Structure 1
Amino acid sequence: MQTLNQGNNERISRGLIETADGYLALTLAQSKTFKTRPAAIRWLSKRGVIVK
């Protein structure tokens, strides 16, 4: 997960979050839920987000 500090008490995040029923993939403009980690990583990589 990458968190960018805007400098005015606001932060935006992008990356991958594990939830109870799967994974939540976040970009700066979009989010989507997935059942599997590889599917979420593929979706993020198509949008330029690198997941470790």
Structure 2
Amino acid sequence: MSEVYVWIRSLWLLWLFLVFVAGVAWIYWPKRRDELERHGQIPFKDDGEPLP
């Protein structure tokens, strides 16, 4: 039983690492750059100014 637990535990570590890498790749994908820059400017916008 403990051998199976160790094997499954190692797979979860791999799975979580892959999910993390996929999330970072999705966030920093070059096509998303303009959208992320617009979102980054939200705190600096005036309350009366509409968002793009």
The TM-score by the shorter chain falls in which range? under 0.3
Structure showing greater relative contact order (alpha-carbon pairs closer than 8 Å, 6 or more residues apart) = 1
Higher strand share: 1
Q: Could you state the TM-score of these two structures normalised by the residue count of structure 1?
A: 0.26
Q: TM-score, normalised by structure 2?
A: 0.26
